[in-house]
A and B are shown apart, each in its own frame.
Chain A
Amino acid sequence: MNFAQALASGLLTGFVYALIAAGLTLIFGVMEIVNFAHGEFLMLSMYLSYFFHASLHLDPLVALPLNALALFALGVIVYFALIRRVLKAPMLAQVFATFGLGVFLQNLAQFFWRPDFRTLGDTWVSGKRIAPFGVFVGGPQLAAAIGAVVTTWLLWWLLARTSIGRALLATAEDKQAAALMGIDPDRMFALAWGIGAACVGVAGALLSTFHYVFPQVGSQFALIAFVAVALGGFGSVLGAFAGGIAIGVVESLAGVFIQPALKNLFVFAIYVLVVLVRPRGLLGKQ
């Protein structure tokens, strides 16, 4: 019973990790840049939910499309204002451009909104829970998991079934060949940043119903997302999805059956073990 409970909560968290990781891996897949400010994008989206709720009484689940739009815009702005200028720079300069952006955003948030831990209080899903087969499932967690699965599915559908998605994938495959086919790589890069940021925008709204909101909240999620992306294989959306779920489950099982303080140790250890066997992750091109 304990096992079923731990597995269920691990899966629910894992779906949200998977969504955050999917946004990260999309950006990487299209242009081979790791967004070290990904966690701060998540943090900004959570604050957005907080302020929608506090000042406009908008439920985070209702305002969710607004989060996605706002973060899409942020991603596109970041691409044109910063990333485009380091496209041809060495990989390390790209790392530090996004890392600097992360430091900048996190501390800007602390400057404006103080380091206080905030909660949204009463949302539609707060305090509700269901217990199918004796396994307790919290309403906020369930809503977050469903929202994350639907969004990741939408992302997959967009990539696999629409012409714009196919243009993105073509750019990821071979920029020059795609450009010769009339696909403007610049627009595709901006789109990848927009969509990648919109994914964390949705994840932030979903998390805000039950998670504390504070300036450093993104760091832990970003770290897990990096590991999920590398575990699944850089650039593979399906891999990031599998990686996120695997991490959620390992974290939850290790927390329940071994020791809560050591749960992340097992997450990182599993990652290291997997890449030693498969150096390009579970679903990356070997």
Chain B
Amino acid sequence: MRPRTSGLSLQAAVALLAAAVLGWPLIFRGPYPQHIMILILLNALLGTAWNILGGFAGQISLGQAIFFGAGAYTSTLLAQHAEISPWIGLVAGALVAIVIAIAIGGPCFRLSGHYFAIATIALGEIAAIAVTNWDYAGGAVGLFLPVEGTGLAQMKFDDKRGYHYVICALLVLALAVTVWLRGARAGYYWRAIREDQAAARSAGVPATRYKLLAISISAALTAMAGTFYAQYVLFIDPPSVLPLSLSIQICLVAVLGGAGTLLGPLLGAAVLVPLSAATSVLLGGSGRSLDLVVYGALIMVIAVFEPSGLVGLWRRISATVSRN
């Protein structure tokens, strides 16, 4: 039996999904469903950014919080000390993150596999301790964002709809960059490096340069998410923007969804965020963390039964549906 043209139905499904996401804050007027959707989109953005470095180029980073914090702190410090617009702060934060990324990648890309991952954990902890002891950046106390009014120019809004569309735009940017690079020379080089770096090098792939490209793009997008987060929450401190748990969560979103696929991080965020919200609503009230017990168990279940991510499950289901 010939499989049905999956290209068209996939496009239709994506268009339908995009329409649903764009219309979400118009359909659901309550702040809670709007907040959950913003968290899904933020995590999807972070997972997509991780995926460029970890999924496509195969360099497992467990230190993405460094870049998230770089974005959040750069834009906030610029706003606080020089009254600079968060939009300029967004770009400045991305540039700072790129500089940090190259400073990290330059030496650390000589490390392979687990050594690189553990090095990014160590660097993330260094960043968190350094900022905690850096008084200019608020130290352990953190920073409140100055609010000079709301509106698109300030990237601050009276209700959550404005934030929803800003994070939508950032996610579209990240996806567009992913789609573009995936089909370009960089994408092929990254996959060659991921599968076998020595072979890629001997075939003439400038591995270090393309890994630096991957970490720079990943860092810039993650920093933009950090700037957005600061505008959304209006308060940042090391435990909220620089913790190891954030770095792990970013990786988790991409991996459970499906590392190295375009839709994996979106699927991961769409499952994990509501899952942790639902378990904490249903089970978290007792203050005894039963929600996280269930969360941990579900992570194990997914790792055992869908080791290459939920994208695999998605494909099997859609194959079954189209066969019938």
Contacts and interface: CB of A to CB of B under 8 A. Distances in A.
B303 A268 contact: no
A82 B300 contact: yes
B293 A104 contact: yes
Contacts of A265: 125-126, 129-130
A156 interface: no
Contacts, number: 133
Contact of A93 (B60, B130, B308): B308
Nearest to B288: A111
Contacts of B129: 261-262, 264-265, 268
B293 A85 contact: no
Interface string B292-321: 110111111011100110000000000000
A26 B296 CA distance: 25
Interface residues of B, number: 44
Contact of A230 (B60, B115, B291, B295): B115
B307 to A, nearest CB: 3
Nearest to B304: A85
A114 B60 CA distance: 34
A145 to B, nearest CB: 25
Given A114-B288, A268-B122, A92 B60 contact: yes
Contact of A97 (B259, B289, B290, B300): B300
Interface in B120-135: 121-123, 125-126, 129-130, 132-133
Interface in A216-261: 223, 226-227, 229-230, 234, 259, 261
Interface string A61-105: 000000000000000000000100110011111111101111111
Interface in A99-126: 99-108, 110-111, 114
B308 A90 contact: yes
B126 A110 contact: no
A107 B112 contact: no
B293 A108 contact: yes
Contacts of B133: 259, 261-262
Contacts of A279: 110-112, 115
A268 B130 CA distance: 12
A140 to B, nearest CB: 27
A180 interface: no
Interface in A258-280: 259, 261-262, 264-265, 268-269, 271-272, 275-276, 279-280
Contacts of B252: 96, 99
A103 B122 contact: no
Contacts of B303: 86, 89, 93-94, 96-97, 100
B126 A269 contact: yes
Contacts of A103: 292, 295-296, 299
Contacts of A276: 107-108, 110
Interface string B263-289: 000000000000000000000000011
B121 A226 contact: yes
Contacts of B290: 107, 111
Interface in A6-29: 28
A275 B122 CA distance: 11
Interface of A: 28, 34, 82, 85-86, 89-97, 99-108, 110-111, 114, 223, 226-227, 229-230, 234, 259, 261-262, 264-265, 268-269, 271-272, 275-276, 279-281
Q: Report the 9 A-B pairs with minimum CB-CB distance, sorted nearest first.
A: A100-B299, A104-B296, A103-B296, A89-B307, A93-B307, A107-B292, A97-B303, A100-B300, A268-B122
